[in-house]
């Protein structure tokens, strides 16, 4: 046993994944919320079973539905998260969810300096019902938020693609579209595989590449 | 004026990632004595830059050159700019960005003034021997692998430094590249410095190097993938 270990942090460096999940009333239609719940439960199980030698995947889920956004699942190692299925109802307060994500990413007590580049995933099937431009701008201007890997999934035809594009804010990285519930799971399988590959790599800070052809959805 | 001994040692080991592909150690470090005082430098060539191993060595030489001739407060205040100029002058022709490197230093002037800081990620800290608490220099390091550096984001504008009074002796300064500092427990830095001074300091240079390499290798902080380098400088008052 190295004596140096008395002065080092034993836990592997965290790789945070923050999911912003639309749980507005419209998500209860056509099996969308069931599909999203299933996809997130599978993602958590997969992350939780990963080897944690170099990086430990941490997950937080922020939901936006009802009247306000809320932290549905606090940021914690995926292996310790007990998944609690989400319910869909009410409005689409996306701006509040983005503001919560910005606060979380900038909080160095929750995401320390030693953490690897966070991934923020936004999935929504509608248009925001609150002010969203300013929160997205604040995320993109924040020291750490602007460096996070951001992905967006437009679910169905009514998703606000312009807003999702503003969230991603990267011409090289298209907003992806899921035309049905099955494709929601396909998208999160791709997220799972990509994040897992990053956590195993020698350079876990590298940004995620766009989806390969196997996982390309209908790009907008 | 009390009689003072200033000591320094450090080490650098190649990370697994670089070893696997035959790349050189991108970190560099050194400690030097000069008419102005005692200096330690630790630099970490930015991983994505092809010639950063040369940039980190040039940065060590640049800090040494500037520290050797420093004479007044205004030069200390503009230390970062002077180092950047000296560093640029040492680079071969080509894209400066390919030589990007962090640069951390601690300079103990003959007056007992200790100046510690630099640019980039990693760790620069000071404390007093025998005390648990330490002062971290708030480096403008960047996050998630995007590093402020000479030849990269920020340059000398991102330089930060702090001072301590060591006229009575007993001040230590620790510099470490992020391959090590990301996994050092910040609340244990005083203990770490004490362990280095008491346990490792008395060893001969050769045994010390072997011991430190074995310790770093066995701990495998950060999975051991990145190069790991540190330097510790401290003074002892011998009355």
- pLDDT of A120-172, one tens digit each? 999 999 999 999 999 999 999 998 999 999 999 999 999 999 999 999 988 88
Is the minimum CB–CB distance between B21 and chain A shorter than 8 Å? Answer: no
CA distances (Å), B46 to each of A41, B31, B72, B99, B178, in order?
38, 21, 32, 8, 11
pLDDT at B1: 60
Q: Please give the span between the terminal C-alpha atoms of chain B, in angstroms, as a whole number.
A: 9
* Chain B residues closer than 8 Å to A4 by CB: 215-216, 218-219, 221
Is the minimum CB–CB distance between A109 and chain B shorter than 8 Å? Answer: no
For residues B214-222, average pLDDT: 72
Is the model's pLDDT at B133 over the cut of 90?
no
Q: Assess contact for A153 and A177: CB atoms under 8 A.
A: yes
Residue B1 distance to chain A (closest CA, Å): 35
Residue of A46 and B148 predicted with greater confidence: A46
Q: Note the helical H segments in chain A.
A: 32-48, 94-106, 133-141, 161-168, 181-200
Is the minimum CB–CB distance between A3 and chain B shorter than 8 Å? Answer: yes
Contact A9 B218 (CB under 8 A): no
Contact A113 B223 (CB under 8 A): no
Is the minimum CB–CB distance between B112 and chain A shorter than 8 Å? Answer: no
Contact A8 B47 (CB under 8 A): no
Smallest Cβ–Cβ distance between B144 and the set A9, A12, A205 belongs to A205
Contact B199 A6 (CB under 8 A): no
Residue B3 distance to chain A (closest CA, Å): 32
Smallest Cβ–Cβ distance between B185 and the set A2, A7, A202 belongs to A7
What band does B213 get if pLDDT is binned at 50, 70 and 90? Answer: confident
Is the model's pLDDT at B221 over the cut of 70?
no
Among the listed residues A25, A67, A118, A76, the one whose alpha carbon sits nearest the alpha carbon of residue B144: A118
The three-state secondary structure class of A82 is: coil
- Say what the alpha-carbon torsion angle A136, A139, A145, A150 is, to the nearest 10 degrees: 0
Is the model's pLDDT at B202 over the cut of 80?
yes
Token look-up 């427990």 returns B185
Nearest CA in chain B to A13: B222
Residue B210 distance to chain A (closest CA, Å): 13
- pLDDT of B159-175, one tens digit each? 999 999 999 999 999 99
Q: Which residues of chain A have pLDDT under 70?
A: 1, 212-220
Is the model's pLDDT at B6 over the cut of 90?
yes
pLDDT at B172: 97
Is the minimum CB–CB distance between B201 and chain A shorter than 8 Å? Answer: no
Residue B188 distance to chain A (closest CA, Å): 6
pLDDT at B153: 72
Contact A4 B219 (CB under 8 A): yes
Residue B221 distance to chain A (closest CA, Å): 8
- Give the Cα separation of A144 and B110 in Å (integer): 40
Question: Residue B127 phi/psi, 5° resolution?
Answer: -165, 180
pLDDT at B108: 95
* Global ipTM: 0.85
- Give the Cα separation of A114 and A169 in Å (integer): 25
Residue B30 distance to chain A (closest CA, Å): 22
Sign for the pseudo-dihedral over CA of B234, B107, B70, B61: positive
Residue to mutate among A7, A146, A150, A207, with most B CBs inside 10 A, is A7
CA B213 to chain centre: 17
Which residues, 6+ apart, have CB-to-CB distance to A197 below 8 Å?
A: none
Contact B219 A117 (CB under 8 A): no
CA distances (Å), A143 to each of A110, A146, B133, in order?
15, 6, 28
Smallest Cβ–Cβ distance between A8 and the set B47, B214, B219 belongs to B219
* Chain B residues closer than 8 Å to A9 by CB: 183-185
**Contacts from B189-194 at CB under 8 Å and sequence distance 24+?**
B189/A7, B189/B125, B189/B127, B189/B134, B189/B136, B190/B127, B190/B131, B190/B132, B190/B133, B190/B134, B191/A6, B191/A7, B191/B132, B192/A7, B193/B127, B193/B129, B193/B134, B193/B232, B193/B234, B194/B129, B194/B130
pLDDT at A14: 94
Is the minimum CB–CB distance between A203 and chain B shorter than 8 Å? Answer: yes
Is the model's pLDDT at B33 over the cut of 70?
yes
pLDDT at A216: 55
Is the minimum CB–CB distance between B216 and chain A shorter than 8 Å? Answer: yes
Is the minimum CB–CB distance between A12 and chain B shorter than 8 Å? Answer: yes
What band does B63 get if pLDDT is binned at 50, 70 and 90? Answer: very high
Q: What is the DSSP string of A180-205?
A: SHHHHHHHHHHHHHHHHHHHHSS-TT
Q: Strand A55-65 vs strand A13-22: parallel, antiparallel, or unpaired?
A: parallel
Tell me A175's DSSP state. P
């Amino acid at each position: 046993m190295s004596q140096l270990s008395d002065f080092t942090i034993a836990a592997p460096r965290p790789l945070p994944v923050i999911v912003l999940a639309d749980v507005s009333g419209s998500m209860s239609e056509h099996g969308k919320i069931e599909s999203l719940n299933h996809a997130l439960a599978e993602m958590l199980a997969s992350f939780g079973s990963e080897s944690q030698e170099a990086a430990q995947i941490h997950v937080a889920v922020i939901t936006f539905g009802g009247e306000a956004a809320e932290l549905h699942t606090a940021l914690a190692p995926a292996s310790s998260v007990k998944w609690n299925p989400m319910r869909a109802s009410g409005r689409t307060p996306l701006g509040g969810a983005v503001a919560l994500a910005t606060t979380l990413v900038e909080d160095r007590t929750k995401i320390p300096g030693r953490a690897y580049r966070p991934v923020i995933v936004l999935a929504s099937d509608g248009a925001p019902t609150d002010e969203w431009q300013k929160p997205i701008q604040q995320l993109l201007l924040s020291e750490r938020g602007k460096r996070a890997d951001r992905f967006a999934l437009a679910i169905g035809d009514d998703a606000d693609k312009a807003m999702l594009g503003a969230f991603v804010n990267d011409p090289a990285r298209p907003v992806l579209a899921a035309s049905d519930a099955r494709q929601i799971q396909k998208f999160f399988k791709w997220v799972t595989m990509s994040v897992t590959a990053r956590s195993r790599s020698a350079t876990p800070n590298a940004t995620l590449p766009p989806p390969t052809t196997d996982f390309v959805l209908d790009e907008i | 004026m009390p009689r003072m001994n200033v000591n320094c040692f450090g080490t650098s080991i190649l990370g697994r990632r670089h070893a696997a592909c035959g790349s050189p150690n991108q970190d560099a470090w050194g400690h030097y004595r000069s008419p102005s005082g005692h200096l330690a430098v630790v630099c970490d060539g930015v991983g994505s830059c092809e010639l950063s191993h040369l940039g980190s060595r040039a940065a060590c030489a640049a800090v040494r050159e500037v520290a050797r001739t420093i004479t007044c407060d205004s030069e200390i205040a503009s230390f970062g700019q002077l180092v950047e100029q000296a560093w640029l002058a040492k680079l071969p022709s080509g894209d400066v960005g390919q030589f990007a490197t962090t640069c951390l230093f601690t300079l103990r002037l003959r007056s007992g003034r200790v100046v510690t800081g630099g640019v980039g990620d990693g760790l620069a800290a000071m404390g007093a021997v025998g005390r648990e608490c330490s002062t971290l220099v708030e480096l403008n390091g960047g996050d998630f692998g995007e590093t402020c550096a000479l030849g990269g984001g920020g340059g000398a504008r991102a330089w930060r430094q702090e001072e301590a009074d060591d006229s009575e002796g007993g001040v230590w300064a620790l510099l470490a590249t992020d391959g090590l500092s990301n996994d050092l427990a910040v609340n244990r830095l005083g203990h770490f410095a004490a362990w280095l001074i008491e346990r490792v300091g008395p060893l001969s240079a050769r045994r010390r190097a072997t011991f430190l390499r074995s310790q770093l290798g066995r701990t495998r902080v950060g999975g051991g993938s990145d190069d790991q380098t540190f330097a510790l400088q401290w003074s002892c008052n011998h009355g």
